[in-house]
Copies of this chain bind each other. A is one copy, B any other.
Amino acid sequence: MLAGDARAIARAISLVESETPEAASLIGQIFKRTGRAYLIGVTGAPGTGKSTLVDALTAEIRRAGSTVGIIAVDPTSPFAADPGVYIRSMATRGHLGGLSRTTSDAALILDAAGKDFVVIETVGVGQDEVDIVRTADVSIVVLVPGTGDDVQAIKAGIMEIADIFVVNKADREGADRTAQAVAANLSLHPFAADEWKPPIVRTEANRGVGVDELWRQIGRFREHSAGQRAVRQRERHRVRLRELLSRRLVERIEAGLPEGEIDRIAERVAARDLDPYSAVAGMISSGLKA
């Protein structure tokens, strides 16, 4: 796996997804070999063409001579024959659980396996997904013309995390308006002279248009933020630690409670026989005693 063998990588990622003690042990073993890959987080709502954009960006990175690992929601695979690209799908597991945890571990595997860049694609909003992209080395938010009615929602959730905005499908009607709305939003924030101001890149990913400019902006951001990379990494690990902590603690309480106790408590709460806050206080005191 450390030599970049695709089958070994696949097995290692399956192992970390299994969340067994062996998974923890594998991460423990390879962890010192990680931290070299540059993490590119890409997010946007369904329909923005993220997958196509990630493919076009990957082609650009390959042209520059670097290797790529991709963790994608719904990967198309134009790179099947290229040993410099490894693509992992997250689609099969759906969105119901552990997304952020297993994605982080998969990224560590690809990092240890020597990929120069790891691209992580997530759909839309949701805290886990925002955290994944927010704590990547560079965060790219993909928008598309003509989704005006929820622009407020996008603003509230993911506008703040973007290091680079992409207006994809830039040949569509309304692309100017979308770019202007983003620029107007940015103008509300007073950027200091030496502060990074997120550029707005227009692309037509399906034809490869504008992707060279996106790649150039990633390079610019990487250079600009080199001094702050450690801060971003620390934040990434802080988020990860809290999440692992929470999972391990819940496991411990559940192990300390009699079989099926949580279901019985949920039933009592549903029957209004017990309120949720009191229920949890009770679970903690009996679960920790055990």
Contacting pair A153 B74 (CB below 8 A): yes
**Cβ 8 A contact of A266, one of B35, B97, B237, B283:** B237
Chain A's interface size range is: 35 or more
Complex Cα distance, B96 from A158, in Å, reads 9
Q: Which residues of B contact A237 (CB under 8 A)?
A: 266, 269-270, 276
Tell me whether A94 and B150 are in contact in the complex, defined as CB-CB below 8 angstroms, given that A45-B46, A244-B277, A276-B31 are known contacts. no
- The answer to whether B280 touches A95 (Cβ under 8 A) is no
Report Cα–Cα, A150/B52, bound state, in Å.
10
Contact B238 A245 (CB under 8 A): no
Whether A125 and B123, one on each chain, are in contact in the complex, defined by CB atoms closer than 8 angstroms, is: yes
**Nearest chain B residue, comparing its CB with the CB of A273:** B32
Q: Which residues of B contact A91 (CB under 8 A)?
A: 152-153, 156
Q: How far does the alpha carbon of A238 sit from the alpha carbon of B266 in the complex, in Å?
A: 5
Which residues of chain A in 176-214 are interfacial with respect to chain B, using CB atoms and an 8 Å cutoff?
Answer: none
Q: Does the CB pair A238–B263 fall under 8 Å?
A: yes
Contact in complex: B74, A150 (CB < 8 Å): yes
Shortest C-beta distance, A173 to chain B (Å), equals 13
Contact assessment for A127 and B130 in the assembled complex, using a CB-CB cutoff below 8 Å: no
Q: Is A7 an interface residue (CB 8 A)?
A: no
What distance in Å separates the Cβ of A207 from its nearest Cβ neighbour in chain B? Answer: 14
List residues 241-290 of chain A with CB under 8 A from any CB of chain B: 241-242, 244-250, 252-253, 262-263, 265-267, 269-270, 272, 275-281, 283-284, 288
Cα A47 to Cα B149 in complex, Å, equals 6
**Residue A236, interface by CB 8 Å:** yes
Q: Are A241 and B253 in contact (CB under 8 A)?
A: no
Q: A238 — which chain B residues lie within 8 A by C-beta?
A: 262-263, 266
The reply to whether B95 and A130 contact each other, CB–CB distance below 8 Å, is yes
Roughly how many angstroms separate A191 CA and B30 CA in the complex, as a whole number? 46
Contact B267 A234 (CB under 8 A): yes
Q: Is the CB of B248 within 8 A of A127?
A: no
A selection of 8 A-B contacts at a CB cut-off of 8 Å is A27-B277, A73-B153, A91-B153, A93-B156, A94-B156, A124-B124, A233-B270, A245-B284
